[in-house]
Amino acid sequence: MNTIVSTVGTVAVVTVEGRIDTVNAPEFELCMLECMAKGHRDFIVDLSRLDYISSAGLRIVLSVAKKAKAAGGGIACCSLHGVVKKVFDVSGFANILPIYESLDKALGQ
Amino acid sequence: MKLPRFHSLAVEVTLLVMIGTSFVLAMVLADSYRVSRKIIVANAEKEARNLAESKALTMQQELRAVAEITGNFALCVETVRLDQLHLLLLIRAVVTGQEEIFGSTVAFEPYTFEPKVRAFSPYFHKSPDGVKYIQLGSDSYDYFNKDWYKIPKQREAAVWSEPYYDEGGGDVIMCTYSFPFYHLAEDGKQGEFKGVVTADVSVNWLTEKLASLHIGDSGTYFVISRQGTFITAPREEWIMRESVFSIAEKMGSKKLEKIGREMLANESGFVDCGDLFPGGDSFLAYSRFKVNGWSLGVLFRKSRLFAPIEGLLRRSALLGVAGAILLFAVSLIAARSVTKPLRRLEQATANVATGHLDVDLSEIQRADEIGRLAQAFARMTVDLTHYIQQLTEATAARERIEGELSVAARIQRSMLPSRFPAFPERKDFDIHAIMEPAKEIGGDLYHFFLLDDNRLCFAIGDVSGKGVPAALFMAVTTFLLRSAAAGGVPPEEILHHLNRQLSKGNDSCMFVTMFCGILNLKTGELLYANGGHNPPMLLREKEVIELGPPGGPVVGVLEEAAYKRESLIMNPGETLFTFTDGVTEAFNPQDELFSEERLHGVLQEMKGKSAPEIIEAVMFAVESFAQDAPRADDITMLAVRYEGPGTA
């Protein structure tokens, strides 16, 4: 797994590559928490290059979403595809979190 | 260069230094020897040339003196008409008065001295008994054909003859200088040839003269005539019998032949003639006599020339070897004292390797690299002791936790019904389940029980994450599921209840996906609700269908979430196959997912089979696929086969 963090305005865009599984989920969590520590409240998680996400990964997304909400911000995911999209659909996360087709559309909101 | 293995650093370093030193020493010796030789050769050349030239000069002076006397004598004979007595007295005076002259004659053309006398040539020569007289003009000694007479007559010039043995004359080996004289014409000009005046020089006398000229102990000399004949020679038997060229031919030596030609052609020279001459490897310096074309050679033996520097070389080499041995001994002692602390360190390392960390290196008190190494080593043993202690404690702690975790895993597993067949007395359905945990304690769960004689309640779930938190969450979920389902409420109510309970104060954001179903065993009607769980598969008689997407989100996240009740009818012989994502998301070593497509394929083959058979087949397929890739997630499956009410 690789994470690339960039900033568009006040929004932190986190691009995740590879796989998020039980083993490296804490790494992903740490990356997100660091972004929050830097003062970011709004997040877009770009999943265009993510091949797989386990339930542990979903938990991190959820956990960050809650913390962002508590701080007055929010989290959105974009560019879901393949297995990742299926996981989001089946688990109902697609209804819990705002999901966008592309990064541009997510930034538009 | 591959160095041989040494057992001691000291010996290795010393030997390397020695090899280097010896090499340098040998180079210096070789160079100084070469330079010395060059200098000696240059000096020898100068000396030899000088020697040859000065000796040749001395010899020539002697010969020139003879020639002058003869010339004057001839002039006298030519201009003054002497009678026989006075002529004889004059000749005799020449022979007795001149040390150089062995013999002398005045030889006349036929009938020119006395009209009646054909041959007239009175000859005086030295002998051990004093000066003797011979008339050469006799029948036995026809002087008109002798070279000493004939050649100056033809050439009309004074000539030095080649050395010859004068038989019937002086009876010794000699060379003759012949000076022609002529009739005086009326006008005082030179008239017809009248005869020759000669003076003989004995080769013996020449040899003695040469011998008296000291040449030094390093050289021997020889003289060759115009034809190359040895007049004096390095070997006595060569004298008058051999020439340089005849010897060269015998030896087959082109080089000697060349040297011979050079000696007769060049004024002087210096050549390395090797061992062509007796006496061994030598240099040859030569100088030609201008008066008669002879050449004098001086041989310098190299062994004599180079003897001093060879002695010096031997002495230097001997000193060098002795010095090298001394240097080796001193270096070895020095190197051993330098490497002594290293050997001590080596011992200490061996001790540490066997677990004895209490090594004392305080004796190594040095400020250099070895001292620093010893200090670092001492620090390392202290650190090692510390780390080993920490590691021992940490290992003990981890073993305790692992032990506790394995107890937890056992407890967790004991919460799931695991006795199969679960309802051996019931023929109208069969239920089978399996939970294969991943390496770490996980969060998969399943449950089933009979609500009453006609209703079978079952559920399968997957808690997000791993480890103790997941296991605890799973335990809570199992407990809540049991209590919620026991009330006989429909499946969506069960999920609803669970969701409310788990969402409250769920700061860790853990959740569980769950499929819950209640099968009416009389009618085959299945009521079910799905909270974010993988849709189960229904194995019908002719097809395998996937149930629709979940009617609600994962359980434990949104307190206000709603779950939809759904239903379907199971016909006798059909099986509902439920599973967790550990099945479809098993990876193989190539990082590929097992996938729903593969699961679908396996289930297609297992249509109509019993619940345990189906689960076993899927398990086998997943394990074959994953090979030895580590299992990332728990694999849980639960299959319910409905046989129909008639079979009860």
pTM of the model as a whole = 0.52
Query: Which residues of chain A neighbour B509 with C-beta distances below 8 Å?
Result: 59, 62-63, 66
Minimum distance, in Å, between the CA of residue B635 and any CA atom of chain A: 14
**What single-letter amino acid sits at B258?**
K
Residues of chain B under the 70 pLDDT cut: 1-6, 188, 213-219, 439-440, 647-648
Of A22, A83, A95, the CB nearest to B632: A22
HSE-CB of B426 using CA atoms within 13 angstroms: 23
- Any chain A CB within 8 A of the CB of B465? yes
- 8 A C-beta contact, residue B206 and residue B231: yes
Nearest to B498 by CA among B519, B517, B509, B483: B483
So what's the pLDDT on residue B638? 96
Q: Which of residues 47-66 of A touch B (CB under 8 A)?
A: 52, 54-56, 58-59, 62-63, 66
- Any chain A CB within 8 A of the CB of B536? no
Query: Which residues of chain B neighbour A20 with C-beta distances below 8 Å?
Result: none
Cβ separation of A66 and B552 shorter than 8 Å?
A: no
Separation of CA B261 from chain center:
52
So what's the pLDDT on residue B265? 87
- Any chain B CB within 8 A of the CB of A102? no
Report the distance separating Cα B422 and Cα B607, nearest Å: 22
ipTM of model: 0.89
Cβ separation of B585 and A54 shorter than 8 Å?
A: yes
- As to burial, measured by CB atoms within 10 angstroms (0-12 exposed, 13-18 middle, 19+ buried), residue B104 is buried
Nearest to B437 by CA among A22, A65, A89: A22
Q: At what angle do helices A25-37 and A55-70 cross, to 10 degrees?
A: 10
Separation of CA B70 from chain center:
80
Q: Which of residues 9-38 of B touch A (CB under 8 A)?
A: none
Report the distance separating Cα A34 and Cα B69, nearest Å: 131
- 8 A C-beta contact, residue B290 and residue B296: no
Question: What would the pLDDT profile of A33-86 be if each residue is shown by its tens digit?
Answer: 888 888 888 899 999 999 988 888 888 888 888 888 888 888 999 999 888 998
Cβ separation of B509 and A59 shorter than 8 Å?
A: yes
Neighbours of A6 (CB within 10 A): 11
- 8 A C-beta contact, residue B552 and residue B494: no
Minimum distance, in Å, between the CA of residue A62 and any CA atom of chain B: 6
Phi, psi of A88 (to 5 degrees): -65, -40
